[in-house]
Amino acid sequence: MREKITPRSQDYSKWYTEVIRQAELADYAPVRGCMVIRPYGYALWEHVKEGLDRRFKETGHENAYFPLFVPMSLIEKEAQHVEGFAPELAVVTHGGGKELEEPLVVRPTSETVVGYMYSQWIQSYRDLPVLINQWANVVRWELRTRLFLRTMEFLWQEGHTAHATAEEAQEETLRMLEVYADFTINDAAIPVLQGRKSESEKFPGAETSYSIEAMMGDRRALQSGTSHYFGQKFAKAFDIQYQDENGKLQYCWTTSWGMSTRMIGAIIMVHGDDQGLVLPPRLAPIQVVVVPIWKKEEERTVVLEAVETMKAALGACVRLKVDDRDEYSPGWKFNDWELRGVPLRIEIGPRDVAKEQVVLARRDQPGRAGKSFVPLAGITDAVTDALAQVQNDMLKRATEFRDANTHEPADYDSFRDAVAQGFARAWWCGDVTCEDKVKEDTQATTRCIPLDQLEGNGQCIVCGNPASEMTIFGRSY
Amino acid sequence: MREKITPRSQDYSKWYTEVIRQAELADYAPVRGCMVIRPYGYALWEHVKEGLDRRFKETGHENAYFPLFVPMSLIEKEAQHVEGFAPELAVVTHGGGKELEEPLVVRPTSETVVGYMYSQWIQSYRDLPVLINQWANVVRWELRTRLFLRTMEFLWQEGHTAHATAEEAQEETLRMLEVYADFTINDAAIPVLQGRKSESEKFPGAETSYSIEAMMGDRRALQSGTSHYFGQKFAKAFDIQYQDENGKLQYCWTTSWGMSTRMIGAIIMVHGDDQGLVLPPRLAPIQVVVVPIWKKEEERTVVLEAVETMKAALGACVRLKVDDRDEYSPGWKFNDWELRGVPLRIEIGPRDVAKEQVVLARRDQPGRAGKSFVPLAGITDAVTDALAQVQNDMLKRATEFRDANTHEPADYDSFRDAVAQGFARAWWCGDVTCEDKVKEDTQATTRCIPLDQLEGNGQCIVCGNPASEMTIFGRSY
């Protein structure tokens, strides 16, 4: 029997790691700070990828693949960019048994190598826009790592686009932010705030950075996807020029945007409970698990026969798993699949077969409230409806939790209390001095300046000076 | 207008590179020996991945992800393995601005790190078999590189399995070889020989290596996929043990198998012609291109209307692209899509609209022979049938070419002629001295010892000693 998971209320961080390891989502690799994504975790990632990739293609993007290694001289071309990434680089100095003339950086992100290629591919306004995405691994030398949230190597997608005008590039930046929000809300059942990052929280080299921010189960924030507008900074650093309709050379306007395996961390933390994972049906590798129940051998035959019939119909509509292992009891299996967060469980014993019914149990509503009897005849509709209901309820519950823990403090004292307990939405003058003071006093940072703003103005929650935008503050991962 | 491609007969290698670059499959990266896979090439790779991934899942495998970096001490655990890969390693010596205590190898393949994890995950016979695949990038420090065929970094999948018995592991090795053959023959329309590698051509650390071998358009061989049986060698090096049903500790039996972006090189070389790529319909990113033809503006409206109607029906069944660009002539478009190897072209002008028909042109049969008139009413069936026909004919043509260039020489003199012109199938005693002599005399190597063997014995084509197996010899990439 496996060990009981530490309750969330006792040690949230321990709970998080135990859920990941016991549910076999991931494991520690033999290299410090790196992880192995195990089959169950990778299947979840495959569904995340599908949900995003479909949306990228629907918005006109194509996939490509750029190299893992970036010559050191190339990464140094954009001053702010290299300044931001220099402390996190992994460097290859030897290859084929020899010391290299120029060290190669293992990509922390690919703006530089993409910029180099775009300068060759783009000649004319007819070549624009260029809308490319890549699915890849990247490496950032992190000292404090945590499974899925911050690992030295992680998997992600990075979109890189080039446009003829600033307006088009800005539209693209916000379009992709919206794509991330749409995926996260509708597929991952996680409510997010879309907003602009403050100057000090921007991506190195960006003119403007946007993010989606979600609230985890411990009321901390997780930046769950980012979209950057570069203006002409990278185009000038990498000489990405095009001839416009009048034959004049112009610099392009570029963007980039990314989402990573961090999203898995968000799914675990937003929805998980003391029994383990709770996975949103749209992304769950297994949507429905069937646990057949019997005592005598003749019951076994009868029950498994009914299961086979049900599987034939239901297996075509949902991702179904039948757990007919002999070596475990039904109770053990219930716990096991609860730990793994399978959204629906079907229990079927000899009496159910006789009554032509099954028991349907929802993972997101433990106990009797989530259980119902369903006639075998209407099983497909009942299961499809229940999955949709679970997906909706999970989003609703997460939204209510986020909203209940988002405060609008009237003064700095209540602001301090607010960010200790969740998010604070407050007026901010935009000055980095105020931002730094908040960080020092509370460990909280500006998460984002939401795109949705109220009319009017107010006074900065820190210094009292006039402020034109409300900002979300919170402690973050 | 783009430059004309060098004819294959004039310079095959130049033809190969020009096709790749002009069809925008790939480009040289700013790092020596690395490539960028451009969207059209990557879309082709996505179809290769889908074809393989589906087959892996059907045979019970799951995907996972192991880390990019391998500690040097780990890669040194299996002596033959490290000996084989040592000259090709890329090594990270610095991270986060500091020199590392232990250098990290960028994975050239993942047997070592997988072995380390399997030793932790596998406890009991109940945990077996473990059937895992990963899609990943790997790095091998190659000096002479060529786009897709041999690049310093390449994309591939690597399967790694662990079993309770030697028989099961051997079965798995051959099952996956068969999966590769099935994919390559049926999806890539490339005939392959399945066979065992000679002792000198084995994967470093394998007990037995198998490969599928294909003949390229210049009659050279390309090893297109490999499957390795490790016996207990890696299990002993990494301590992968399980408790059997009697409670006794046993070492596992392991395998690995891989196919890479090299397959794209095979598709280009087997099917391409002097006009460019010829893609097999099952893998082609665009299966059908529609080129509308008009001169006057009122014709444009009529033709594009008919195209829209056709697209609505056909677009649901096949991967369809309508090329309605105004800036290019139909003739230019024909050449462009021929270069890109789109299997079928539909031409439709105002007269065709009036007659309710289109012209269907096959890429694999240039000129009049490949053209036919098809009534618009039956377009979907006609196109589906034509795609199936193209797929079949491409395999048939490649098989005939391979067979016509495979010889069974009677003596060493004709053997030398044979391997200069294609494959030789000949008796070989299995001695490395004979293998070395052939290499020195002819540059040809043993490609594989086919699984399909005739009854009986013969005399080694080199030394005349008794030989029990026929072997395929050829010059290879």
For every residue of B385-432, which 3-state class applies, written as one string? HHHHHHHHHHHHHHHHHHHHCEECCCCHHHHHHHHHHCEEEEEECCCH
B404, burial (CB in 10 Å: exposed 0-12, middle 13-18, buried 19+): exposed
Residue B276 located in a structural domain:
no
Residues facing A450 on adjacent strands: A195
Considering the domain architecture, whether residues A226 and A307 belong to the same structural domain is answered as no
Give the long-range contacts of residues A316-321, CB within 8 A, separation 24 or more.
A317/A380, A317/A383, A317/A384, A318/A287, A318/A288, A318/A383, A318/A384, A318/A387, A319/A284, A319/A285, A319/A286, A319/A287, A319/A288, A320/A286, A320/A287, A320/A288, A320/A289, A320/A290, A321/A286, A321/A288, A321/A289, A321/A290
DSSP A424-441: EEEEE---HHHHHHHHHH
| Domain final residue pick, A389, A420, A436 | A389
Q: Which residue of B has its CA nearest to A155?
A: B65
Of A39, A63, A153, the CB nearest to B63: A39
CATH number at residue A421: 3.30.110.30
Is B27 an 8 Å CB contact of chain A?
A: yes
Residues A385 and A410 in one domain: no
Of B225, B242, B271, the position where a domain reaches its end is B271
Q: Which residues of A touch B104 (CB under 8 A)?
A: 31, 90
Cα(A425)–Cα(A473) distance, rounded to whole angstroms?
A: 6
Whether residues A327 and A234 fall in one domain:
no
**Pair B90, B47 in one domain:** yes
- Using CA coordinates, name the residue in chain A closest to B104: A31
B94–A95 CB contact, under 8 Å: no
DSSP-assigned letter for residue A476: B
Asked if residue A409 has a cis previous peptide bond (ω within 30° of 0), the answer is no
Q: Is residue B451 part of a domain?
A: yes
- Residues in A closer than 8 angstroms to B327, CB to CB, are 126
- Name residues 76-135 of chain A within 8 A of B (Cβ): 86-97, 103-104, 106, 113, 116-117, 120-121, 126, 132
A141·B96 Cβ contact <8 A = yes
Domain shared by B232 and B150, yes or no: yes
Q: What is the pLDDT of residue A78?
A: 87
User: What total number of domains does chain A contain?
Assistant: 3
A322 and A373, same domain (yes or no)? yes
Of B36, B43, B45, the CB nearest to A66: B36
State the DSSP H helix or E strand holding residue B247, giving kind and residue range, or none if neither.
none
Give A367's pLDDT tier (boundaries 50, 70, 90): confident
pLDDT tens digits for range A406-424? 999 999 999 999 999 999 9
A105: closest CA among B464, B248, B92? B92
pLDDT at A454 over 90: no
Per-residue pLDDT of chain B (477 residues; tens, 9 = 90+): 567 899 999 999 999 999 999 999 999 999 999 999 999 999 999 999 999 999 999 999 999 999 999 999 999 998 888 899 999 999 999 999 999 999 999 999 999 999 999 999 999 999 999 999 999 999 999 989 999 999 999 999 999 999 999 999 999 999 999 999 999 999 999 999 999 999 999 999 999 999 999 999 999 999 999 999 999 999 999 999 999 999 999 999 999 999 999 999 999 999 999 999 999 999 999 999 999 999 999 999 999 999 999 999 999 999 999 999 998 999 999 999 999 999 999 999 999 999 999 999 999 998 888 999 999 999 999 999 999 999 999 999 999 999 999 999 999 999 999 999 999 999 999 999 999 999 999 999 999 999 999 888 999 999 999 999 999 999 999
Handedness of CA B118, B119, B120, B124 (dihedral sign): positive
Helix (H) / strand (E) element for A94: namely strand A90-95
Question: A252 with A301, same domain?
Answer: no
What are the distances in angstroms from CA B372 to CA A266, B379, B388?
Answer: 56, 12, 16
Interacting residues of A412 by C-beta distance below 8 A, sequence separation 6+: A461, A462
* Dihedral sign for Cα atoms in the order B50, B55, B61, B67: negative
Q: Is the pLDDT of residue A404 over 60?
A: yes
A30-67 pLDDT tens trace: 999 999 999 999 999 999 999 999 999 999 999 999 99
d(CA B257, CA B247): 31
Check CB contact of B46 with chain A, cutoff 8 Å: yes
Q: What distance in Å separates the CA atoms of residue B266 and residue B33, rounded to the nearest whole number?
A: 19
For residue A300, give the CATH number of its domain.
3.40.50.800
Token pair in block for residue A420: 């200790």
All residues of chain B having their beta carbon less than 8 Å from the beta carbon of residue A71 are 30-31
Cβ within 8 Å, pair B91-A89: no
- Tell me the Cα Rg of chain B: 25
Q: Domain ends where: A213, A242, A271? A: A271
B95 is a domain residue: yes
CB B343 within 8 A of CB B284: yes
Three-state SS at B266? helix
Dist. CA B464–CA B457, nearest whole Å: 12
CA distances from A469 to A228, A446, A448, A451, B293 (A): 20, 12, 11, 10, 55
Q: What is the pLDDT of residues A282-319, one digit of tens each?
A: 999 999 999 999 999 999 999 999 999 999 999 999 99
Q: Give the rounded percent of residues in chain A with a pLDDT score beyond 70.
A: 100
Q: Is residue A158 part of a domain?
A: yes
Residue A1 in this model has a pLDDT that exceeds 80:
no
Q: Among residues 138-197 of chain B, which lie with CB inside 8 Å of chain A? A: 139, 141, 143, 152-153, 155
Integer CA distances (angstroms), B297 to B9, B301, B303, B322, in order? 44, 7, 10, 18
User: Is the predicted pLDDT of residue A456 greater than 90, yes or no?
Assistant: no
Give a yes or no: residue A375 inside a domain.
yes
Q: Are residues A441 and A315 in the same domain?
A: no
* B233 and B168 co-located in one domain: yes
Which residue from B42, B67, B95 is facing A64, i.e. has the nearest CB? Answer: B42
Q: Report pTM.
A: 0.97
How far apart are the CA of A258 and the nearest CA of chain B, in angstroms? 18
Compare all CA atoms of chain A with the CA of B112 and give the residue at the minimum distance: A30
CA-nearest of B363, B382, B372, B370 to B313 is: B382
Q: Which structural domain range is residue B198 located in? A: 12-271
Put simply, the answer to whether A64 touches B39 (Cβ < 8 Å) is yes
Give the residue among B429, B386, B426, B389 at the shortest CA–CA distance from B410.
B426
Cβ A270 vs Cβ A398: under 8 Å:
yes
Cα distances (angstroms) measured from residue A233 to each of A146, A202, A238, A245: 33, 14, 9, 22
A213/A318 same-domain check:
no
The domain spanning residue B68 has which CATH number? 3.30.930.10
Q: Do B321 and B367 lie in a common domain? A: yes
pLDDT of residue A427: 97
Q: Which of B203, B264, B269 is nearest to B231 (CA)?
A: B203
For residue B372, the SS3 value is strand
A34 touches A139 (CB < 8 A): no
Residue A79 has pLDDT above 90, yes or no: no
Q: Is B71 on the interface with A (CB under 8 A)?
A: yes
Does B277 fall in a domain? no
Whether B25 is covered by a domain: the verdict is yes
- B chain contacts of residue A86, beta-carbon cutoff 8 Å: 97
pLDDT of residue B2: 66
Cβ burial B213-239 (10 Å sphere, 16+ → b, else e): bbbbbebbbbbbbbbbbbbbbbbbbbe
Which 3 state secondary structure label does DSSP give A109? coil
> Is B281 part of any domain?
no
Backbone phi, psi, residue B400, to 5°: -60, -40
Same domain, B384 and B417: no
